[in-house]
């Protein structure tokens, strides 16, 4: 039998600030309303902590609040109180609108709106206690929109292939020529950093005008047909990590950041700031070797912060 938690509260009508604070917290938590002053959530640790926090605040402001355990009677169907299908439908409608209005000269605004939708979806998933097919449907639609935006930004971006990622040994990849497309953005810059810092310190990075210019003996990355490129949902940086079994937590956090900035997804806290820094470097440094030299320090600093358990602003 599913168990739930109830919050029963009353607050003086004149204490508008405390009432609004309680209402906002309960709304954000996904609490359902059984009747005026009675709220319900599934019996989960995070939900219980939220209701207890609200109760403490209410009691501290001349109100009364009680957190109680409750079993769901067979005919109560409390789960239906948490049906998020309407919210998912509204999100899907917004996603479809953006897909239909995807125009190159309005791309920056579309990116901004898409990131807002990603935040809304993440928040909705957090309170979707009894998920239905709506959740994966909307998630897939948003991923498709993010992919279309990435392709519109960089028409020569590699197409992901569906295959296993072979494991490789670092010792076999020393002193090599590595090649990728010129005018690099985050995935290529991060790959080059990873190669130089973790895989092949003496690597020579070759910047290609077109993938067709790649020498036969060079190790290509981040273009169609390259040795290392997008596989499934993984961008090239993530493929390199998997290939060489580089699983340190700091690198995994960096991978999440690179993934988001390259193809979208869940936004890390550092994303906007790092995107601005890399954009500024790319706009002011037009030599790819010099751009990489500057970006190396950015990724070095990020990794150091991640390894210290910090979040950059």
pLDDT at 254: 97
Tokens of 283: 């706009």
CA gap 30, 46 in Å, rounded: 11
pLDDT at 147: 81
CA gap 160, 236 in Å, rounded: 9
pLDDT at 313: 47
Q: CB-based contacts of 54: which residues, under 8 Å, 6+ apart? A: 7, 9, 22, 25, 26, 65
pLDDT at 47: 96
pLDDT at 75: 62
State pTM to two decimals. Answer: 0.69
Tokens of 132: 């239905």
Average pLDDT score over the chain: 92
> What is the DSSP track for 30-48?
T-EEEETTEEEEES-HHHH
pLDDT at 1: 62
pLDDT below 50 — which residues of the chain?
A: 313
pLDDT at 76: 67
The phi and psi torsions of 233 (rounded to 5 degrees) equal -95, 0
The phi and psi torsions of 83 (rounded to 5 degrees) equal -70, 120
CA gap 240, 236 in Å, rounded: 6
Locate tokens 């040994």: which residue? 169
């Amino acid at each position: 039998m599913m168990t739930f938690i109830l919050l029963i509260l009353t607050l003086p009508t004149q204490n508008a600030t405390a009432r609004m604070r309680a209402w906002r917290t309960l709304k954000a938590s996904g609490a359902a309303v059984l009747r005026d002053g009675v709220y319900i959530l599934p019996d989960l640790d995070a939900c219980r902590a939220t209701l207890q926090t609200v109760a403490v605040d209410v009691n501290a402001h001349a109100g009364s609040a009680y957190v109680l355990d409750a079993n769901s009677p067979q005919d109560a169907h409390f789960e239906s109180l948490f049906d998020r299908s309407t919210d998912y439908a509204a999100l899907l409608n917004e996603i479809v609108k953006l897909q239909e209005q995807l125009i190159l000269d309005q791309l920056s605004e579309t990116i901004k709106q898409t990131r807002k939708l990603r935040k809304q979806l993440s928040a909705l998933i957090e309170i979707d206690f009894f998920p239905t097919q709506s959740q994966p449907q909307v998630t897939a639609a948003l991923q498709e929109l993010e992919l279309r935006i990435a392709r519109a930004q960089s028409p020569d971006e590699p197409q992901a292939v569906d295959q296993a990622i072979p494991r490789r040994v670092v010792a076999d990849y020393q002193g090599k020529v590595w090649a990728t497309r010129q005018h690099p953005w985050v995935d290529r810059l991060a790959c080059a950093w990873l190669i130089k810092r973790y895989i092949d310190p003496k690597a020579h990075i070759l910047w290609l005008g077109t993938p067709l210019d790649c020498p036969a003996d060079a190790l290509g990355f981040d273009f169609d047909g390259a040795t290392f490129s997008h596989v499934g949902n993984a961008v090239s940086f993530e493929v390199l990590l998997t290939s060489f079994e580089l699983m340190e937590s700091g690198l995994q956090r960096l991978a999440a950041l690179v993934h988001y900035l390259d193809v979208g997804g869940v936004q890390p806290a550092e994303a906007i700031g790092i995107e601005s820094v890399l954009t500024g470097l790319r706009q002011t440094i037009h030599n790819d070797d010099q751009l990489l030299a500057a970006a190396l320090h950015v990724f070095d600093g990020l990794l150091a912060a991640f390894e210290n358990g910090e979040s950059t602003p």
